[in-house]
A and B are shown apart, each in its own frame.
Chain A
Amino acid sequence: MNIREKILVIEDEKSIAQFIAAVLDGQGYETIQARSGQEGLSMITSHCPDLVILDLGLPDMDGLDILRQLRSWSSLPVVVVSARSHERDKVTALDQGADDYLTKPFGTGELLARVRTAIRHTRTASGNDEIAQQGTYSVGELVIDYNKHQVLVRGENVKLTLGEFRIVALLGKHAGKVLTYDYIIKELWGPRAGSGNQILRVNMANIRRKIERNPAEPEYLFTEVGVGYRLAEGEWTLPRP
């Protein structure tokens, strides 16, 4: 019998916690539940879960505080679930170390996809198995070659500039995760880079024109409006005929 991944659900609304647990149980995960922030924190230390699903609006403390405390000593993946829908809240949670953010109401399919992605990223330190072992990341017909600094689409080198390659490479390392504009800018241009994201946006438009069949209908490089960018992972499907 293989060991099942353990998921801690920190959520005060019983009905929501129950349905999340039911969905995850159905997919073969083991779930435990906490109804408050304090209980959640102590369960993280005592049960060592593989993933935490965290509600931001808890009765005793702000979910963001839990995230901050947790991030001071652990890189345990956290998927935030919240009724706060403003993109500012999303950006804050992601920049504070959340691995993903789901706005209530969300579908079960969405929840499972995020959970799978977040768990996959913890398996290796570099965040991505394939990159660690072969120096490449591939999804669909796209291959990022980290050794040769190349991106291949359908076997052909798409000739990105160095700056463009670094953006794609960064997204590839965190494939499936939304990276905020600020995070990408800080990673690539340093913490003193201006707060404007125009250069990044224009760069992304150029990259899409080289990689995507139709830049307005991306298959690989998705936009999370108002938040950031995400590179396709796993769920990639061939475009409809």
Chain B
Amino acid sequence: MTFRKPWASPLFPFSWQDLALTVTLFSCAMVLCFFLQDAGVIEGFAPPVFVLTVLLVSRLTTGYLFGFIAAVLGTVCVNFVFTYPYWAFNLSLSGYPLTFFMLLMVSLITCTLTAQAKRQAKLLAENEREKMRANLLRSVSHDIRTPLTSIVGSTSAVLENPGLSPPEQRELLQNAREEAQWLIRVVENLLSITRMGDAQARISKEPEPAEEVLGAAAQKFRRRFPQVNVTVSAPEELLMVPMDPILIEQVLANLLENAAVHGGAANIALSLEAEESQARFVIRDDGQGIPKRELDGLFDGRPKPHRAPDGDGKRNMGLGLSVCRAIVLAHGGTIRARNRSPGAELSFSLPITCKEASL
């Protein structure tokens, strides 16, 4: 499935994969019919067997090419091999044109339905992205205003009031810097979105040592939040996980930052766990946890209603988390959040294809 692009569909695309599939299905049908023939019950059974074969081929291959070939082949098989007279064409057989017509219709209808289903799935995925984008724009415009106001305000206050004492000036400038750093993080998330490209592009995944990404994310986080204690653990065995490492680093950065900023955590444990066919990244903190009413739909990126304690909910975590979700989904993974006592646990899993022993 990986090499096919149903949306770039010509009507008669050729692929070796589909050819192999067609050949296999027909071989199976032939073998089945030979058995039936040996048992002497072939009359009446051959046509339905090939109807089913044509249906399967049409359903499982892309485009109309193989469905059409299957209809022709099916007719030939039914007429030539499995109906009296055996191993001979009998074009006078009254049902022959009807058989061909029916098989062709089966193939045509199935192919059309298959193409439709694929188109719909693609539309759904596109809708999902569109929704994310819309939420994103909303949450960005919401997120950017407050810090910008603060930066402009603080710096103007310093410039226009020469009478301010040095500590006051310092505090204002510090505020401006903090807000600017917040904006940097918003921009980094936006970059991640552009990196995931438009609706049709796929992210480029390479097997990457997961522990390296983990270590790098923790190191950057420590530079930003030196007061938070982070511990990192990874299994002894090296885990190579197919991913876009820059995007996954962004996911980790967002989750770590959320734990520190929203959870107010003092300790964060970042760990990597190998599961059967997945690598699980877990971020556990000892902060105040996620408010119950935000836990549902935490990742859908809608700006949250005003939270009472913060006044106007100034630091919206919607953007970062919806970016996390989009990135993880694009990797074919899953992301989860739950509360522990105390604190919260956010985790995401990515599928592994290759595992390598370490020593």
Pick the contact of B233: A216, A222, A224 (CB < 8 A).
Answer: A216
Bound: A15/B173 CA distance, A: 17
- For window 21-49 of A, CB contacts with B under 8 Å fall at none
Bound: A215/B358 CA distance, A: 12
Do B184 and A105 touch (CB < 8 A)?
yes
Given contacts A202-B238, A206-B359, A214-B232, contact A226 B245 (CB under 8 A): yes
For A222, list chain B residues within 8 Å (CB).
215-216, 219
Nearest CB of chain B from residue A124's CB, rounded to whole Å: 29
Check A126 for interface membership: any CB of B closer than 8 A: no
Nearest CB of chain B from residue A21's CB, rounded to whole Å: 19
Bound: A218/B218 CA distance, A: 10
Check A85 for interface membership: any CB of B closer than 8 A: yes
Check B211 for interface membership: any CB of A closer than 8 A: yes
Check A139 for interface membership: any CB of B closer than 8 A: no
Bound: A105/B180 CA distance, A: 10
Pick the contact of A218: B215, B272, B356 (CB < 8 A).
Answer: B215
* Residue of A87, A206, A217 with most partner-chain B CB within 10 A: A217
Do B245 and A205 touch (CB < 8 A)?
no
For A214, list chain B residues within 8 Å (CB).
232-233
Bound: A204/B216 CA distance, A: 14
Bound: A86/B272 CA distance, A: 26
* Residue of A204, A205, A209, A224 with most partner-chain B CB within 10 A: A205
B217 nearest CB neighbor, chain A only: A225
Interface string of A192-226 (1 = CB under 8 A from B): 00000010011011100100001111100011111
Given contacts A214-B233, A218-B215, contact A201 B245 (CB under 8 A): no
Bound: A222/B215 CA distance, A: 8
* Residue of B208, B211, B246, B272 with most partner-chain A CB within 10 A: B211
Pick the contact of A216: B208, B234, B246 (CB < 8 A).
Answer: B234
Pick the contact of A85: B180, B191, B207 (CB < 8 A).
Answer: B191
* Total of A-B residue pairs, C-beta within 8 Å: 61
Do B216 and A205 touch (CB < 8 A)?
no
Bound: A216/B217 CA distance, A: 10
Do B209 and A204 touch (CB < 8 A)?
yes
Bound: A171/B231 CA distance, A: 26
Give B contacts to A, CB under 8 Å: 180, 184, 191, 195, 207-209, 211-216, 218-219, 229, 231-234, 236, 238, 240, 245-246, 249, 272, 356, 358-359
Nearest CB of chain B from residue A204's CB, rounded to whole Å: 7
For A201, list chain B residues within 8 Å (CB).
208-209, 212, 240
Given contacts A215-B211, A215-B234, A216-B215, contact A226 B358 (CB under 8 A): no
Contacts A/B (CB < 8 Å), 25 sampled: A105-B180, A201-B212, A202-B238, A202-B356, A204-B209, A204-B212, A206-B358, A209-B358, A209-B359, A214-B233, A215-B234, A216-B214, A216-B215, A216-B272, A217-B218, A217-B232, A222-B216, A222-B219, A224-B216, A225-B213, A225-B216, A225-B245, A225-B249, A226-B246, A240-B229
Give A contacts to B, CB under 8 Å: 85-87, 105, 198, 201-202, 204-206, 209, 214-218, 222-226, 240
For B218, list chain A residues within 8 Å (CB).
216-217
For A226, list chain B residues within 8 Å (CB).
245-246
Bound: A131/B216 CA distance, A: 28
- 8 closest Cβ pairs, A-B complex: A216-B234, A223-B212, A205-B238, A217-B232, A216-B211, A216-B232, A225-B245, A225-B216
Bound: A13/B332 CA distance, A: 42
Nearest CB of chain B from residue A176's CB, rounded to whole Å: 15
A109 nearest CB neighbor, chain B only: B223
Nearest CB of chain A from residue B304's CB, rounded to whole Å: 27
Nearest CB of chain B from residue A118's CB, rounded to whole Å: 20
Bound: A214/B214 CA distance, A: 12
Pick the contact of A87: B238, B246, B272 (CB < 8 A).
Answer: B246
Bound: A87/B214 CA distance, A: 18
For B214, list chain A residues within 8 Å (CB).
216
B222 nearest CB neighbor, chain A only: A240
For B229, list chain A residues within 8 Å (CB).
240
Bound: A217/B268 CA distance, A: 14
For A215, list chain B residues within 8 Å (CB).
211, 215, 234
Bound: A111/B214 CA distance, A: 24
Nearest CB of chain B from residue A142's CB, rounded to whole Å: 17
With A204-B209, A205-B209, A206-B358 already in contact, 7 other A-B pairs whose C-beta atoms are closer than 8 Å: A202-B240, A205-B211, A205-B358, A216-B211, A216-B272, A217-B231, A226-B246
For B234, list chain A residues within 8 Å (CB).
215-216
For A217, list chain B residues within 8 Å (CB).
215, 218, 231-232
For B219, list chain A residues within 8 Å (CB).
222
For A216, list chain B residues within 8 Å (CB).
211, 214-215, 218, 232-234, 272
A216 nearest CB neighbor, chain B only: B234
Bound: A214/B236 CA distance, A: 10
Do B212 and A225 touch (CB < 8 A)?
yes
Bound: A216/B214 CA distance, A: 7
For B358, list chain A residues within 8 Å (CB).
205-206, 209
